Amino acid sequence: MPVQPTFKKIEGESYLYELTYPSGSKGYAVRATRTGVPGKKQYFPFTKEGLAKAKTVRNTWLEETNKLTKELLKKGPIDPAIKKMANPTDPKKPWRYKRSDSPDTFHATEQDAKDFQTKAKELKYAANTKIPKTDFPAIKEKIIKGDTLEQIASSYDADVDTVRTL
């Protein structure tokens, strides 16, 4: 079984790493990925020439992927949140709604997925804003009357920092 090196990011350089094998030998690596375009993974010797070659390969890859990304973006989002799957696990539900904070959900029609997306966004927004900004004057009055932030926060089922920020 091949021995895997450890990777240390080179400061100030995107996608470039210094690698160290358990035997102590060193090298440079380009490890780059972006959504919608082929990635790059290549190793170079631990010399000035190796580092220069790694930078050249990385820069060439960046130029190519920037061109590809621009072309892909003209067609629409590279990986849209709502997408019809080519090989769905359930053929009756081919539409996927992908969220970063939850598992993917699958729907029968695109409209079902859009409706679910709208509802999920509303719920997430409501969860993030426990105290409406329209209540600011009422909270201000409570503070003037002498209520503590803890009392105000408990009446809104929020923490003290949320009230303080408001």
- What is the structure's pLDDT at 9? 93
Rounded to whole angstroms, the Cα distance separating 60 from 93 reads 41
Q: Are 45 and 57 in contact (CB under 8 A)?
A: no
Q: Which of 102, 101, 108 is nearest to 85 (CA)?
A: 108
Q: Domain-by-domain residue ranges, the chain?
A: 6-75, 82-128, 133-165
Give pLDDT tens digits for 117-155: 888 888 777 666 667 777 888 888 888 888 888 888 887
- What is the structure's pLDDT at 127? 66
Rounded to whole angstroms, the Cα distance separating 11 from 127 reads 38
Q: Low-confidence residues of the chain, pLDDT below 50?
A: none
- What is the structure's pLDDT at 15? 93
- What is the structure's pLDDT at 54? 95
SS3 140: helix
Rounded to whole angstroms, the Cα distance separating 72 from 79 reads 10
Q: Are 113 and 82 in contact (CB under 8 A)?
A: yes
Rounded to whole angstroms, the Cα distance separating 42 from 33 reads 12
